[in-house]
Amino acid sequence: MRNQLVNINTVNDIFVEYRHTPIALLLEFHNLNRPFASYTQAQLLVGMCMDNRKHLHIPDNFSYIIRSGGANLRYSEFKVSYAISVGGIQYIALIGHNNCGMVNLHARKELFINGLIKNAGWERERAEEHFTSFAPMFEIDNEIDFVVSEAKRLRVKYPNVTIAPLFYNVEDNRLSMIQE
């Protein structure tokens, strides 16, 4: 069965398992214009792509946010562990998005290399080696499937933490839930 997006237009659209949690509040703040409450400590951790087209509509102090290409938290696990252990976080929202630059990285290989040469002053050989070494670690095949697989991976690592895969549409700036 293929993962499917579920639009959140009312509170009743939020999956039952996430209702009355910080994940539901995130969806309500962002999509449903729920009035902001005042927070003195983070209620959840948001893992989302570094893409500049995404901005969450949430109150100050509501969440920790880790931004990484493709919402890939594999290389940010110490930060995730910190938020859980020291910050007391019990909920994580992983947010992928459409038109992600981490999809089909190899199609951008020359752009990447030429950009490092022009903008960073790198030699071609160094830029090529950098791309070849790191692109396989960060490339994703499909945004939705990746965020679901990342949620599953993190659920194994942090079994007492509720982890929800979400999807951000850059055209309408709305969050959707992903039916796994």
Look up the CATH number of the domain holding residue 88.
Answer: 3.40.1050.10
In a domain, 109, yes or no: no
Split into its structural domains, the chain has a count of 1
Q: What is the pLDDT of residue 163?
A: 98
In a domain, 117, yes or no: no
Report the binding-site residues: 97, 100
Q: Give residue 95's domain range.
A: 4-103+140-179
In a domain, 116, yes or no: no
Under 8 Å between Cβ of 96 and 167:
yes
Q: For 94, phi and psi rounded to 5 degrees?
A: -100, 125
In a domain, 146, yes or no: yes
In a domain, 149, yes or no: yes
Q: What is the pLDDT of residue 53?
A: 85
In a domain, 123, yes or no: no
Q: What is the pLDDT of residue 3?
A: 72
Q: What is the pLDDT of residue 2?
A: 64
Tell me the sheet residues that pair with 5: 178
Per-10-residue mean pLDDT, the chain, length 180: 85 97 98 97 95 92 94 93 98 92 89 96 97 90 92 97 96 95
SS3 track for the chain = CCCEEEECCCHHHCCHHHCCCHHHHHHHHHHHCCCCCCCCCCCEEEEECCCCCCCCCCCCCCEEEEECHHHCCHHHHHHHHHHHHCCCCCEEEEEEECCCCCECHHHHHHHHHHHHHHHHCCCHHHHHHHHHHHHHHHCECCHHHHHHHHHHHHHHHCCCCEEEEEEEECCCCEEEEEEC
In a domain, 126, yes or no: no
In a domain, 108, yes or no: no
Report the binding-site residues for Zn(2+): 97, 100
